[in-house]
Structure 1
Amino acid sequence: MSLAQNAYIDASNVYESSLENSYKKDNGVFYTDLPLAEKMLMELKLPKDTVIMDPCCGSGVFLYAAKKHGFVNLFGADQDKNAIKFCLNNINNVSFAACDSIGRTASTLLSEFELSDQPDVVIGNPPYVPLLGDIELNCDYLFRRRVSDFGNNLFVAALIRAFEIVKTDGIVSYIIPKNFLHVAGYSLLRRTILEEKTIISIIDIGAYFKNVRGEQIILTVKNCAADRKHKIKLKKLSSNRFVSMCSIPQSFYKDEILIFNCSEDYSTYKKLTSSYQTLSDLCNGYVGRGKSMSKDAIAGKEIRKFGYKNHTVPTTGNKVFIQNIYSAEAGIIAAFGGNMEATQTVTVFTDGDEKMCRYILGILHSRLCNLFLYKYCYNYSKLTMHTDAKYLKKIPLPSTNQQEIYFDSILSLVSRLESNDYMSQEWFDCLEELNQIVYKAYGINKKESDYIDCEVKRIQSKRWIPNG
């Protein structure tokens, strides 16, 4: 590392640390480190005469990285005048402008740099914060309306504007929240990008930034419609490098964009979503939060797998109680609720009678169901999620014929899991037997079940695996 690079990194760290945490949080400002900026830039494999712009440049790390690697046509903008002053003092031979690059039109931004042509690449880490309260856009009505329709977040506005700034067939590569891939509020923006743009790659970088809630991805998009055969490259950040996982046809996605880490992952998803009905199709009862305010109502922390810490499992009724907080390490934690009441920290599932409820309870605790939730509903989130209806209703259930064959076996195992000593060897033996019966009910073959076993055991806590 050169002395000049050390000096830049030190100065950038000092500048970032000078910003109040409240300011950074309120404005969604969190700076990218140089190693990640360099990896993003190198991933694009650009010729050295490429015109590169970072419209939300902050301390200019992406442009510093580009200059370091021999690029010469570099432009950066930021509405923070102090940030631009820092860039001018610490990065030579790069054009900088202090201006609002999100609220102002693309043509206005280009005129700041006296650019007659649009840049080839827009790269960076735009701010992400909901546009609520004091955080608002200074822009025309129609642009503000589009942002509202597409998700009402500052990163949404930055992404829309980036597609206007970059040339046709140009590239936008932005770090954005991972929940963009599946949260309902971003649905219209996702569908628009899938229909009108070419997604080159999605790189899962996990919870990369300190003090930033949630996980992030690097979304790289070409500013033109995709070819019918185009495939999106899915990658992840591992051991300080971008590792390829698999490639998925862009035409496969219609709205939610799921990350698959290998071909087995993709084929398992297709089988589970194309060959089975869902919980929503087969169960007509209520799925939602508990509503009771009673001191005797069951809270989420009182529930354990197939039972309760301080309550006896009821024998009759039509409710299943599920801890509303879901983590990949623990998976589903649920018990038969009978006719008891539950608080807001519990997701309540109801159906016709105790038999169907206990059958569903067995399915929910299976490794197959936990893999489906973790990968295909929560999109590999390392953070805690909620077992809300929109996720649970997607769970696939065996066909009616398969239900008839294995229904009583699953009920019997659930009954034994309720009565055996919690987490005893007998309890774990029953749980393993339940997993194998569920595989048979879904028609999962040995190769597929081995893959599911391996994946779930890899992500779950050792306490749920006999002998660790």
Structure 2
Amino acid sequence: MQSVTTKQTAGILEVSETTVRNWVNHGLLSPVAGNNNRFDITAVELLKHEILTGKIDRLRKRANKKNTNNSFIPDEYLESNDCVVEINQIRAMFMAESLDLSTALFVLTIKQLALRNELTINFDRIFAADSYQNCLRKSLASELTAWLAELDLNNRTSAEAYSSLFATLTDVSQEDTVGIIYQSLMIAGNKARKGSFYTPAVIIEDIFKDHAGREGLFLDPCCGTGQFLLRAARNGYSDPNQLFGIDVDKLAVRIARINLLLAFPDISFSPQIFHANFLLEKTGDRPFAMIATNPPWGADFGDDDLADLGKLYPHIKSRESFSYFLAKSLDLAAKNAVISFILPESFLNIRAHSDVRALILERSSIMAIHSIGRQFKSVYTPVIRLDLLNVAAPAGWPVCLRQPDNSENIVPQARFQSNLDHIFDAGLSEEENQIVAKLYSLPHLTLKNNAEWALGIVTGDNKKHVTATFEDGLEPVYKGSDVAPYHLKTTKSFIRFIPGSFQQVAPTARYRASEKLVYKFISNRLVFAYDDKQSLTINSANILIPGFADYPIKVVLCLLNSKLFHFVFAKKFNTHKVLRGDLEKLPLPLFSEKILRELVALADRAILGEPVADKIDAVIFNALNFSSTEIDLILSGIALK
């Protein structure tokens, strides 16, 4: 296997190294085993193909958020849409006048406090420190004068612009009005660099409903403007001194401290919300009974920070920000404390995150994994909620798997422990797992060390090398969309095969093999075609050449296109890419000679286009002794996918 560095990968994909790391964090690209800085050239080039052949906009929007200059209103965070017009006016004014962000938010905060009857002030006195001595609470006056002291008033835009901003805000009905405005003013690229996308209130509310009645200290280690802290105040935390927050964003901390004061209008207190780096700074030894947060995903770290993080958390090899937050939370939480994190779905099964999954299995009891789908505007990654109890799991500990429709399955945590790479196969019920286990319990072969693999040609410039018009010297070339179950479709693409002119090409013998299987790489299901015409493939049409002496290639073809294997692939691996590593884990059952011949004969008919897929499935199910109940469960599982 040829591999390339992160820097080389960025060059091939024509993106930044940061973007490459972001794609890793979201499951679009996986480093080679044992080295997070190197990538299989095959996977890199196939990802490039996806960009070049129509999915470019979605990928660039997803990955290059870190380079965009767009801001947006976080609709998912609004309790109602009544304030949208006003926020848009504020955004437009802020951009048009090039206002200083901290000063603008300070002005809006003062207006919010005036509308909430916390103080009385005229705009012409807004930047005078003595104006805040009439605050009803000394703690609030301290917050405002401290913030005011940090503003660079000598360089601020004319007072008229801030006066207009002050006058524009009239609706402070949102629980976190200034926080919403702050997020709407933040450049989307800056949010992505920080890994910070704020959380819909309903998700946070569900956490506190599910863990109602817990006593003791609460911590949000990356609290932003205080969403989790405000919901804690709504859900049984009557003492603000039990609520702790930390964030690296100083402005967010300023807003969060004032938000918490507003949540407890009858109490004068100093909020326990601090501007600090939770991962790198000492946070004391308070026994937190609950830690809940939406940690940064794929946040950038400087080289010095990465070196320090490596020393503090040597077991986290992925350098993933949310993994560091999980690791420290496990250290900081009291015994039997609840830890609830909002995470990307890729956390469950991507190999890069096996380090933190192993740590979780060793140190905690998984209470529940909630699949909650896409939740963040302009972020395409599905989301899960992970609830842990900070104590090692006893034997037989049950994990609740809750689906988006609120259906639940209970599975033993020990199952995750036994999975390769400690995959948390949360889409697999225990009944479905028994079917998978039954298949794996049968005598079988695997493709690992028993096959040759190849990437489709990577030309480096498809416009130059690939044409839709046939000419002498050209031959058909098949891409991923040309791959159908059992056969290749008629292609409209042609190429002149000169290996030395391409950016990346497999050994010619792989393309010219007497028999080979061609499969879609970008797919959430298995789609394999048979080829005995020595055809060329390009980009996301990969090649598999099984090397078994007595196990026909056409039987492998039948299995890989079968409903049974689609079920196993979808439930076990739950990915939109057909990875070689996953294919190598699939069990190829040892059939009798009679069944082998029968499947080969049916494969021949399927290759010719006959509708015999159901007959092939029936032969496989019958040969492996699957009951009608098990078959129904398999078929319903596929239908749900």
TM category (shorter chain) comes to 0.7 to 0.9
Which deviations, in whole Å up to 9, do the C-alpha atoms of 1:98-150 show, x marking residues without a partner?
Answer: 1111222xxx223xxxxx63211110100010656779558465115443x2x
Is 1:53–1:121's contact at 8 Å kept on the other side of the alignment?
A: yes
Q: Partner residue of 2:635?
A: 453
Is 2:315–2:355's contact at 8 Å kept on the other side of the alignment?
A: no
Taking the aligned partners of 2:634 and 2:289, their CA distance within structure 1 comes to 43
Taking the aligned partners of 1:416 and 1:315, their CA distance within structure 2 comes to 23
Is 1:322–1:334's contact at 8 Å kept on the other side of the alignment?
A: yes
Q: Partner residue of 2:478?
A: 298
Structure (1 or 2) with the larger CA radius of gyration: 2
Q: Aligned match of 1:143 in 309, 312, 320?
A: 312
Is 1:443 aligned to residue 631 of structure 2? no
Q: Which amino acid aligns with 1:407?
A: L
Shift of 1:203: 1.4
Give secondary structure in 2 for the equivalent of 1:168.
strand
Give secondary structure in 2 for the equivalent of 1:167.
strand
Which deviations, in whole Å up to 9, do the C-alpha atoms of 1:312-347 show, x marking residues without a partner?
Answer: 9x99823100011112xxx22221123333233122
Structure 1 pair 145–117 and aligned structure 2 pair: CA distance change class (3 A): closer
Q: Partner residue of 1:51?
A: 217
Shift of 1:10: 4.3
Q: How does 1:205-354 map to 2 (within 5 A)?
A: 205-238=372-405, 242-250=406-414, 253-254=417-418, 255-280=422-447, 284-291=450-457, 293=459, 296=475, 297-310=477-490, 317-327=514-524, 331-338=525-532, 339-352=534-547
Q: How does 1:120-131 map to 2 (within 5 A)?
A: 120-129=289-298, 131=300
Give secondary structure in 2 for the equivalent of 1:70.
coil
Q: Partner residue of 1:466?
A: none
Shift of 1:352: 4.2
Q: Partner residue of 1:416?
A: 605
Is 2:193–2:299's contact at 8 Å kept on the other side of the alignment?
A: no
Give secondary structure in 2 for the equivalent of 1:170.
strand
Give secondary structure in 2 for the equivalent of 1:321.
strand
Give secondary structure in 2 for the equivalent of 1:344.
coil
Taking the aligned partners of 1:278 and 1:36, their CA distance within structure 2 comes to 44
Taking the aligned partners of 2:304 and 2:582, their CA distance within structure 1 comes to 31
RMSD of aligned Cα (Å): 2.9
Q: Which amino acid aligns with 1:119?
A: F
Q: Partner residue of 2:331?
A: 164
Give secondary structure in 2 for the equivalent of 1:120.
strand
Return 5+ residue gaps in structure 2 as ranges.
Answer: 1-78, 83-115, 117-171, 265-270, 460-464, 467-474, 493-510
Taking the aligned partners of 1:318 and 1:441, their CA distance within structure 2 comes to 26
Is 1:372 aligned to residue 372 of structure 2? no
Is 2:297–2:320's contact at 8 Å kept on the other side of the alignment?
A: yes
Taking the aligned partners of 2:434 and 2:310, their CA distance within structure 1 comes to 44
Shift of 1:65: 0.8
Structure 1 pair 311–88 and aligned structure 2 pair: CA distance change class (3 A): closer
Is 1:286–1:351's contact at 8 Å kept on the other side of the alignment?
A: yes
Shift of 1:213: 3.9
Taking the aligned partners of 1:68 and 1:456, their CA distance within structure 2 comes to 41
Which deviations, in whole Å up to 9, do the C-alpha atoms of 1:253-273 show, x marking residues without a partner?
Answer: 232221145332121122122
Give secondary structure in 1 for the equivalent of 2:539.
coil
Q: Partner residue of 2:254?
A: 85
Q: Which amino acid aligns with 1:35?
A: V
Structure 1 pair 51–442 and aligned structure 2 pair: CA distance change class (3 A): same
Taking the aligned partners of 2:306 and 2:333, their CA distance within structure 1 comes to 20
Which deviations, in whole Å up to 9, do the C-alpha atoms of 1:270-303 show, x marking residues without a partner?
Answer: 212223424336x712134335658544322222
Shift of 1:252: 5.4
Q: Aligned match of 1:195 in 362, 368, 389?
A: 362
Taking the aligned partners of 1:263 and 1:164, their CA distance within structure 2 comes to 31
Q: Partner residue of 1:404?
A: 593
Taking the aligned partners of 1:316 and 1:173, their CA distance within structure 2 comes to 52
Taking the aligned partners of 1:406 and 1:152, their CA distance within structure 2 comes to 49
Which deviations, in whole Å up to 9, do the C-alpha atoms of 1:151-184 show, x marking residues without a partner?
Answer: 2111111111111221233221111222222222
Q: Partner residue of 2:584?
A: 393
Taking the aligned partners of 2:542 and 2:592, their CA distance within structure 1 comes to 24
Which has the larger displacement, 226-235 or 317-326?
Answer: 226-235
Is 2:365–2:393's contact at 8 Å kept on the other side of the alignment?
A: yes
Taking the aligned partners of 1:140 and 1:188, their CA distance within structure 2 comes to 14
Structure 1 pair 251–396 and aligned structure 2 pair: CA distance change class (3 A): closer
- Number of aligned pairs? 426
Structure 1 pair 159–252 and aligned structure 2 pair: CA distance change class (3 A): closer
Taking the aligned partners of 1:142 and 1:167, their CA distance within structure 2 comes to 23
Shift of 1:17: 1.1
Which has the larger displacement, 271-280 or 171-180?
Answer: 271-280
Which deviations, in whole Å up to 9, do the C-alpha atoms of 1:357-382 show, x marking residues without a partner?
Answer: 2211111111111011010122xx5x
Is 1:58–1:78's contact at 8 Å kept on the other side of the alignment?
A: yes
Is 1:131–1:152's contact at 8 Å kept on the other side of the alignment?
A: no
Shift of 1:6: 4.0
Which has the larger displacement, 315-324 or 215-224?
Answer: 315-324
Q: Partner residue of 1:360?
A: 556
Taking the aligned partners of 1:285 and 1:62, their CA distance within structure 2 comes to 51
Q: Which amino acid aligns with 1:370?
A: H
Q: Which amino acid aligns with 1:363?
A: L
Structure 1 pair 243–97 and aligned structure 2 pair: CA distance change class (3 A): farther
Give secondary structure in 1 for the equivalent of 2:279.
coil
Taking the aligned partners of 1:141 and 1:28, their CA distance within structure 2 comes to 19
Is 1:203–1:219's contact at 8 Å kept on the other side of the alignment?
A: yes
Structure 1 pair 457–221 and aligned structure 2 pair: CA distance change class (3 A): closer
Taking the aligned partners of 1:405 and 1:206, their CA distance within structure 2 comes to 45
Which deviations, in whole Å up to 9, do the C-alpha atoms of 1:169-220 show, x marking residues without a partner?
Answer: 3221111222222222222322222122222221122222232242222112
Q: What's the TM-score once normalised by structure 1's chain length? A: 0.83
Taking the aligned partners of 2:620 and 2:221, their CA distance within structure 1 comes to 52
Shift of 1:23: 0.6
Is 2:194–2:300's contact at 8 Å kept on the other side of the alignment?
A: no
Q: What's the TM-score once normalised by structure 2's chain length? A: 0.61
Give secondary structure in 1 for the equivalent of 2:569.
helix
Q: Partner residue of 2:160?
A: none
Is 1:298–1:343's contact at 8 Å kept on the other side of the alignment?
A: yes
Give secondary structure in 2 for the equivalent of 1:67.
helix
Structure 1 pair 138–79 and aligned structure 2 pair: CA distance change class (3 A): farther
Which deviations, in whole Å up to 9, do the C-alpha atoms of 1:69-104 show, x marking residues without a partner?
Answer: 121321111110111111122222452111111222
Structure 1 pair 458–200 and aligned structure 2 pair: CA distance change class (3 A): closer
Structure 1 pair 96–416 and aligned structure 2 pair: CA distance change class (3 A): same
